[in-house]
Amino acid sequence: MGESVTGRLFSVLDAFEGGGGGEGPPVLRPTDIAARTGLPAPTALRLVRELVAWGGLERGADGGYRLGLRLRVLGAAAPCPRGLLDAALPALRALGARTGGHADLAVLAGPSADVVLCLVGGDRPPPHATAYGKVLLAAPPAELPRHTRHTVVSPGVLAGQLARVRATGLALCAEEFRLGEVTVAAPVRGEGGSGGTPVGALGVTVSTGVPLDRVVAAVRAAAAQVRPPEPAP
């Protein structure tokens, strides 16, 4: 008896484990998926289209596919406040569609103030090398490891960046964590409005070379749309 339909769907999702050969988020073409799963190309394409319709995969402008927002939501980590994530989802969907990038929400968690990405299974990227971290951090962390040649590892330089982020309400990181990626993020604020402490950072990761003016405008607009739930009395 052949593999079940469910098993074939799982094999398509498993094909994205390990990425698409680069350092960025996994993006695969139908031929790549067929090769990785061993499925006939027409079968692989049919399953990919079903997953796109459900929201488990997303099709990019270049014809490649990546894991979709619905799947990432299902894998959201516990440290991300459910109410905040629910409030941000419409803005995240619009931001991803408008920019073609990977939109996400981040929060600080734990005594070490780790930055937790809510939609990628609780990944914890280095706060000093991401736009999300530069929105949320109050001061440079104790350790500043280098991830690429562009990573800021000077506490003084980073402190100056954090001050500018607080003043402008926007952070941009170009290839500090991964080569070929630029991340733009803005604060999501709770009580106190524009002057309040950020309760999260909403942003998007795009490829280098993408015009950033429209990305910056889209991130600012998306973050401004999120209305965090009122804290419980």
For the chain of 233 residues, list the mean pLDDT of each consecutive stretch of 10.
69 74 67 92 92 86 80 58 85 91 85 72 81 93 93 96 95 95 93 69 94 95 89 52
CA angle 198, 127, 211 (to 5 degrees): 80
Which residue, 174, 171, 170, 176, is CA-closest to 154?
176
User: Whole-structure pTM over 0.75, yes or no?
Assistant: no
- pLDDT recorded at residue 69: 73
Q: Which residues contact 110 (CB under 8 A, 6 or more apart)?
A: 79
Residues comprising the chain, all counted: 233
- pLDDT recorded at residue 233: 47
228 DSSP 8-state letter: P
- pLDDT recorded at residue 155: 95
Largest CA distance in the chain: 64
Residue type, 46: R
- pLDDT recorded at residue 116: 81
- pLDDT recorded at residue 2: 46
**CA atoms in the 13 A half-sphere facing the CB of 62:** 9
How does 56-87 read in b/e, with b if 16+ C-beta sit within 10 Å? bbbeeeeeebbbbbbbbbeebbeebbeebbeb
- pLDDT recorded at residue 109: 76
- pLDDT recorded at residue 182: 95
Which residue, 166, 217, 171, 229, is CA-closest to 196?
166
- pLDDT recorded at residue 21: 44
The single residue listed with the structure tokens 């099709």 is 59
26 DSSP 8-state letter: -
- pLDDT recorded at residue 192: 52
